Structure 1
Amino acid sequence: MTTTPKQPASQLRDVPASKMNEDRIEPAIKSPVRHPEGDFNNERFLDRELSWLHFNARVLELAEDASLPLLERVNFLSIFGSNLDEFFMVRVAGLKRRIATGMAVPAANSMNPVDQLELLLNSAHELQTRHAMVFADQVRPALAEEGIRITRWDELGDTERETLSAWFVSQVFPVLTPLAVDPAHPFPYISGLSLNLAVVVRNPLTGKELFARLKVPDTIARLVGIDGVKAAHSSQRTARFIPLEALIAVHLDLLFPGMEIVEHHFFRVTRNEDLEVEEDDAENLLQALEKELLRRRFGPPVRLEVVDDVNPQILELLVRELNIEDDEVFRLPAPLDLRGLGVIASLDRTELHYTKHVGHTSRFLNESETAKAANVFGAVRRRDILLHHPYDSFSTSVQAFLEQAAADPKVMAIKQTLYRTSGDSPIVDALIDAAEAGKQVLALVEIKARFDEQANISWARKLEQAGVHVVYGIVGLKTHSKLSLVVRKEGDKLRRYCHIGTGNYHPRTARYYEDFGLLTCDEAVGEDVSRLFNQLSGYAPRSTYHRLLVAPRTVRTGLLELIEKEISSAAEGKDASVYIKVNSMVDEAIIDALYRASQAGVKVNVIVRGICALRPGLPGLSENIEVRSILGRFLEHSRVFVFANSGDPLVYIGSADMMHRNLDRRVEALVSLRDQEDIDTMTGLMKRYMDDSTMSWHLGPDGAWTRHHRDADGNPLTDIQFWLMEEHARRRMSGLHN
């Protein structure tokens, strides 16, 4: 086939990318959607955006579950708010933009874009109102019973008011900036996700009423501890808070001296914050992205949240000045923006949290209970090591792998992808240490990772300053694969050690994201990973792979071939089944292949955390497909693909979700497992995820999710995350004592 030229994200600052050799990687080969016999009309797909809202509704169900520890319920309320913010900033904003520009096309289920937007806004209204009511009617009273209260100013004593007023004057007042709105002062810019006060004041001399806007500073904790103004981090049983915006409201007279305070109302704006970088025209991707990050702040509004008792005239003013539609106005009870509940969720009240979990060192890395750190290279030479985080410690496995590589004089080179990482990342520190020790170090930093762009730009520059070779991937594609490659001199030859994962190299999120990773020194994997890094940093568009499937070229086509093999096995009366565990299931070609498999008698099992456009259980189409979703204390993030393969199972793990962006517009990598114990472990685990005795949500053919968490007698079903914690602890102890 003829390769369409692609521009490299060149580090040659003064050379236009358009003038350089562009042949770096072949574009995606989009697989045509085949239409077998039967009813394969567009109603076979669920709406992806509505499915996302259903996912967030499942998060809300956890907040509603009185059997969960109270502060974990508070945390789920905060997560719900953050999730919905991002949904509006990206998904709703994108749909509105496409409608406005005339570029919107019907969804996969043929829903008209305008009707789709109306449905989404109505559903979001219902969910956000329910969210507010869960806090007001269930969680807030339960917190009060535990001595944790969000109080009003009029509930405080004189001494407490004096203390808080003094703190306000010294710590808050200097930060505040009231902005008048009058003929000399146009309506101010309202930043996205900021909490604001709409204030009406009256001039006592003229009687004229005036409007002003006051932003609640996001640099100060949203909930102010009352008891010594320190309770936000207290472990004492009683903790009282007052919202910062309420504290500002009772001191408005200090901000408008000589004026009468008539009324005030709280409001919040959500803006379009999705990035649009025209990479093909960007001579310097880094600079183009930085400019776009500045532009993001000024995206058009897509949602206005106001308190439910807002003055209609004030609301009319906000709607007019912000150019907001009526159906984009969300009337809610105070307090707005429940993300601020994170302060309460982090209180040190152990009895109100999940039992603390600390990941253990993998039994294949820890040779004794007293060992401080295993020799990772020696362990990997003995066998492939399949890691399951957070049950297996990230710090004593992946992090130790890179830290030991940085310190090992036999290590010649390290190559690493970085999509997201923490602000104090030991991974970045290890790469810097390796470069400063004279090793060849390559870091592929994906600076287009959504909402982590600025942090990744900072890390890229820090790495470059330390002598690390930093590249930014391939123009037009995000590098989402999770890869580490270490080249070590052993005797008279070089050996390659690899880590291929399903999650980011992020030590902090690795403590609560569920992910798999493979540590291996298998030669075929080493060759594959080397070739992929060469594609990403150089020119190798025709690379072929043995144990990797790599998007955008072979992940979709490879998975389709494996599904077709299961269909053939079923026709021959052989063992035929598919297990897929992903964050999202949207790609039409993959879904249609699973429908064909179902029609052929293949048992299809899908575990999806978030979006699912596949309809299970439709007679004649998908009656052999079951879909489950598992949410809990850990965020299910791994991507796993298991095929029965006529009794000789094939298992792949990797970074790719079943979405167009992953399969067509990202560099993704899946690796096949080879160790039989790992294959058996993964196959058994997928069966346990799907088992009816496991707590989960079940997707029906109508798109509705039903929670199954108790049996017919009312007893709790098995929480697979707690089961895995116990199972890993048991295996570790068994391994230490054998």
Structure 2
Amino acid sequence: MSDEHPPATDVDLDDPSLYRNRELSELSFQRRVLHEALDDRNPLLERVKFLSIFTSNMDEFFMKRVGGLKQQVAAEVTDRTPDGRTPDEQLAEIFETARPLFDRQTRCYHEDILPALADAGIDIVDYETLTASEQSALRDYFERSVLPTLTPLTFDPAHPFPFISNLSLSLAVLTRSNPDAEVTFSRVKIPGNRPRLVSVEDDEQADDDRTFVPLEQVVAANLDLLFPDVEVLAHSTFRVTRNAEVRRNEEVAEDLVDAIRDVLHERRFATVVRLELEAGTPDRVRNLLQTHLDVSEAETFVREGPLDFRDLMQLTELDRPDRKLEPWTPQPHPRLLESRLDAQDRSVFDVVQAEDVLVHHPYHSFSKTVHRFIDEAAHDPDVLAIKAAIYRTSRDSNIIESLIDAARNGKQVAVMVELKARFDEENNLRWVKRLEEEGIHVAYGTPGYKTHTKTTLVVREEGEDVELYSHVGTGNYHSETAKTYVDLGLLTADRDVGQDLVKLFNFFTGHSRHDEYRKMLIAPGNMREGFTDLVRHEAAVARNGGDARIVAKMNRLEDPAMVRELYEASQAGVDVDLVVRDICRLYPGIDGVSENVSVYSVVGRFLEHSRIWYFENDEPGFYIGSADWMTRNLDNRVEGVAPVENERLQSELWTILEANLSDNRKRWRLGSDGRYEQLSPDDGAPVVNVQELMMERARAAARDADSPDWSGRTD
């Protein structure tokens, strides 16, 4: 569809041309992710990492977004999105947009990455290029370690068409028992529990030189051991993606746990939304797979192998620091430095009671900040209760273990575990069982809503009073992602914030819902109205001739109503700077509509995941929390956003926002035509990389905190 916009005079803000398509906007983000693999300024193994990330992201996009659109088409839904597209039209444009992205990824691998790896002494070679002795060694490896794991599934009158599991890499094998016999199709699944890149041993290689062969080629070269006494006519790899949009009606489900288990079961057998074929796949195989998997030509993607780049992440584990970014170790927070607290016999609660604390991951250590807060609460004899909302957590979560310790230590513990956290359902079910076995009260979720807030409340007896300590974060209680996701967390003893969380947790565990809160913006409740009022207040100031500004950093700006509010604010004269990581429906720079709006996106070594809002004429003006400006977050999820009132922490947040708006290495600017351009330094200007800047600030703050005359300041 056209990206042309209406003339500035008498603008209809409901005009579909003023709204970018959600799905195409996400694909635009994936193009920026892929650029990190294309960019030869990045270290080689960092580029390899992004080839893998791009595949994982696109897999999820097809499972979730394409899967949902296919369901709409099947249900004959013809409603148009705010940008004016039907589900059918969106699918057609998605396939048209995605196909060249996959082609570009493949070219990058073959034309750029493979030669660069070879120059670095890391060779990924084809099986047929190996010497006879190398092939013999790999045949021994195959027979010993791979063959026993394989189960060929043949399709013939005696065997039904085999089930093809989601995202599995498979070999399609055509065989016949004699020249006059019928050709038979078999599927061989490449095992996911064997290294995808098989090392070729060579005693003459240097220690840092390695040669690998893809496992699928090792299997293909030794099919005679899997299909003895028959003729192997052809083989080719293929890969299937299935719909993840499988749901259960929570209102009629007698047991949400059973409903989630049903979802997990049905997802395995869900509709196929994409078929990937290796170039040169015989027409017989192509037609057979399309027919039995019910896949159209548009949903079929043919490309030169490899089809699955996720396993290239294996290469990033090589001991090659010369081909990687400098490793990053999260730093201690200056005010929570263990040596200082121990020497002064102070707890985390003493520090937070004195002044709010802002933690910034992965620059600050998760284990020494957020986990320490919860773990101290679990073992503090004065703590009466702990309440936590868990959306995603690691499989070996120290947070969960601390909550279990708290229950064993006699604390009242209530945990909200969101069973509907997509792709984490099974992990969360496992933790629910463990928590319940310890006698902890567990809420599974809220009917009609997905609980996405990242909040913890600690109730502590201090003298004759009971104090409330709160953590409000932008990211999950997940120790591993906290090393690679950029997130913020507020630790505060503010009683109003604590009382708001009391209401929120009562909503989780009881039969209550609140629309009024003292300070926090909560969805469902006052969040949409609160954000709308904040934007409108800036617009009113601008209309009256005052200076007005909004700076917002978030993952996604999808909600059409909030986009319209920003358009109206721009028309009123408000300066609006948006740092939106991926989906953004808004077009900036349109005369008479959004000429005062700038939109940027930062894509770097860490995933930008923090949400910050600044409103110049509001008091306190700064907010952080779990919600994006998406319809689902504002209306259909349980979310929490807290004000940041401490001036020192406000200064920290402003520094973060300014650094994002100053980046000239990883920042992209969205144009009024809907296209992104990566920014670069002016001639002679220094390179500014926001993530490197934040790492250096964290290092410096940790160093300064170790000095005897440290004042407690972090700016």
With the length of structure 2 as denominator, give the TM-score of the two structures.
0.95
**d(CA) in 2 for partners of 1:570 and 1:144?**
59
1:21 corresponds to: none
Equivalent in the alignment of 2:4: none
Aligned to 1:726: 696
Among 101, 124, 137, the residue aligned to 1:150 = 124
Task: String of CA shifts for 1:39-91, please: whole Å, max 9, x gaps.
Answer: 32121100110000000000011101111111110000000000000111110
Structure 2: distance between partners of 1:542 and 1:602: 32
Deviation at 1:36, TM superposition (A): 12
Aligned to 2:474: 502
Contact kept? 2:663, 2:688, Cα under 8 Å: no
Alpha-carbon distance between aligned partners in 2 of 1:460 and 1:174, rounded to the nearest angstrom:
36
Question: Any conservation in 1 of the 2:552–2:577 contact (CA below 8 Å)?
Answer: yes
Q: Give 1:403's aligned residue.
A: 375
**Is 1:88 equivalent to 2:62 in the alignment?**
yes
The 3 A distance-change label for structure 1 pair 367 and 406 is: closer
Which residue of structure 1 aligns with residue 159 of structure 2? 185
**Alignment match of 2:459 (pick from 479, 483, 487):** 487
Q: Aligned partners of 1:589, 1:209: CA distance in 2, in Å?
A: 58
Cα distance change on mapping 1:38 and 1:206 into 2, 3 Å: closer
**Post-superposition CA distance 1:438-485 (Å, at most 9, x none):** 211111000100100010000111111112111112111011000011
Matched, 1:39 2:9: no
Contact 1:95 1:104 in 2 (8 A): no
Q: d(CA) in 2 for partners of 1:628 and 1:106?
A: 27
Following superposition, the deviation at residue 491 of structure 1 comes to 1.3
Within 5 Å, which residues of 2 pair with 1:468-547? Answer: 468-542=440-514, 544-547=516-519
2:649 to 673, 678, 693: 678
- Give the 3-state SS of the residue equivalent to 1:241 in structure 2: strand
Deviation (angstroms), 1:228:
7.8
The reply on whether 1:394 has 2:373 as its aligned counterpart is no
SS at match of 2:83: coil
Q: Deviations over 1:372-427 (max 9, x none)?
A: 99721111111000111111111100011111111111111111111001111100
Q: Secondary structure at the match of 1:88?
A: helix
Q: Which moved more, 1:618-627 or 1:102-111?
A: 102-111
In structure 2, the CA distance between the partners of 1:669 and 1:341, relative to structure 1 (3 Å rule), is: same
Matched residues in 2 for 1:505 and 1:366: separation? 21
2:295 is matched by which residue type in structure 1?
Answer: I
Corresponding residue number in structure 2 for 1:645: 617
Q: 1:694·1:709 contact (CA, 8 Å) conserved in 2?
A: yes
Q: Which moved more, 1:358-367 or 1:67-76?
A: 358-367
Q: Match for residue 220 of structure 2?
A: 249
Task: List runs of 5+ in structure 2 lacking aligned partners.
Answer: 1-7, 711-715
For residues 649-691 of structure 1, what are the alpha-carbon distances to aligned partners after superposition, in whole Å with 9 as ceiling and x for unaligned? Answer: 5101000011111111100000001101111221232133123
Asked if 1:160 is matched to 2:131, the reply is no
From 180, 199, 207, give the equivalent of 2:173: 199
Shift of 1:571: 2.0
Alpha-carbon spacing, 1:190–1:716, altered in 2? closer, same or farther (3 Å): farther
> How far did residue 696 of structure 1 move?
0.6
User: Does residue 327 in structure 1 map to residue 301 in structure 2?
Assistant: no
Partner Cα separation in structure 2 for residue 346 and residue 546 of structure 1: 49
Counterpart-to-counterpart distance in 2, 1:245 and 1:109: 43
**Residue type at the aligned position of 1:75:** K
Instruction: Please say if 1:596 is aligned against 2:568.
Output: yes
Q: Distance in 2 between matches of 1:600 and 1:370?
A: 50
Gap change, CA 1:693 and 1:218, over 3 Å in 2: closer
Partner of 1:440: 412
Alignment correspondent of 1:615: 587
The letter of the residue matching 1:263 is: A
Higher relative contact order at CA 8 Å, sep ≥6: structure 1 or structure 2? Answer: 1
The one of 41, 49, 53 aligned to 1:75 = 49
Alpha carbons of structure 1 residues 511 and 286: separation in structure 2 relative to 1, 3 Å: same
Q: Is the 8 A contact 1:365 1:374 kept in 2?
A: no
CA contact (8 A) 1:499 1:517 kept: yes
Conserved? CA contact 2:604–2:666, under 8 Å? no
2:606 matched to which residue of 1?
Answer: 634
In 2, Cα distance between the equivalents of 1:57 and 1:692? 19
Q: Residues 62 and 693 (structure 1 numbering): CA distance in 2 closer, same or farther, change over 3 Å?
A: closer
| C-alpha separation in 2, matches of 1:174 and 1:457 | 32
Instruction: Spell out the pairing of 1:564-583 with structure 2 (5 A cutoff).
Output: 564-583=536-555
The equivalent residue for 2:245 is 274
Which residue number corresponds to residue 92 of structure 2? Answer: 118
Secondary structure of the residue aligned to 1:578 is strand
Q: Secondary structure at the match of 1:99?
A: helix
Q: Which residue of 2 aligns with 1:415?
A: 387
Look up the match of 2:280: 309
Deviations 1:318-365 (A, max 9, x none): 111211111111111011111111111222211211111111111121
C-alpha distance in 1, partners of 2:669/2:201? Answer: 45
Distance 1:250 1:610, change over 3 A: same
Residues 360 and 406 of structure 1: CA distance in aligned 2, closer, same or farther (over 3 Å): same
Q: 336-345 or 623-632, which moves further after superposition?
A: 336-345
CA distance in 2, matches of 1:182, 1:374: 73
Per-residue deviation, 1:716: 6.3
Displacement after TM superposition at 1:310 (Å): 1.1
C-alpha separation in 1, matches of 2:267 and 2:184: 31
- 1:12 is aligned to none
Change (3 A) 1:411 1:680: same
Contact 1:709 1:716 (8 Å CA) reproduced? no
The percentage of aligned residue pairs carrying the same residue is 42
How many Å apart are 1:299 and its aligned residue? 0.8
Return the match for 2:439 from 467, 478, 481: 467
Change (3 A) 1:288 1:36: farther
How far apart are the structure 1 equivalents of 2:635 and 2:146? 49
Question: Partners of 2:256 and 2:620 in 1: how far apart?
Answer: 43
Is the 2:620–2:645 contact (alpha carbons within 8 Å) kept by the matching residues of 1? no
Note if contact 2:277-2:302 (Cα within 8 Å) is conserved in structure 1.
Answer: yes
CA contact (8 A) 2:77 2:87 kept: no
| Residue 136 (structure 1) shift | 0.8
Structure 1 residue ranges without an equivalent (≥5): 1-34
Aligned-residue Cα RMSD (Å) equals 2.0
Task: Report the more deviating stretch, 155-164 or 97-106.
Answer: 155-164
Which range moves more in the overlay, 604-613 or 111-120? 111-120
- Pick one of 636, 655, 661 that aligns with 1:665: 636
Judge which range, 481-490 or 311-320, deviates more.
Answer: 311-320
Report matched runs for 1:130-141 at 5 Å. Answer: 130-141=104-115
Compared with structure 1, are the counterparts of its residues 104 and 427 closer, same or farther at alpha carbon in structure 2 (3 Å cutoff)? farther
Shift in Å, 1:437:
1.5
Contact 1:615–1:702 at 8 Å: present in 2 too?
yes
User: What is the CA distance between 1:693 and its match in structure 2?
Assistant: 4.6
CA contact (8 A) 2:33 2:54 kept: yes
Which of 621, 627, 631 is matched with 1:656 structurally? 627
Check 1:77–1:182 CA distance in 2 against 1; reply closer, same or farther (3 A cut): same
For the 8 Å contact 1:367–1:736, the answer to whether it is kept is no
Question: 1:175 maps to which residue?
Answer: 149
SS of the counterpart of 1:345?
Answer: helix
- 421-430 or 484-493, which deviates more: 484-493
C-alpha deviation, 1:116, in angstroms: 1.7
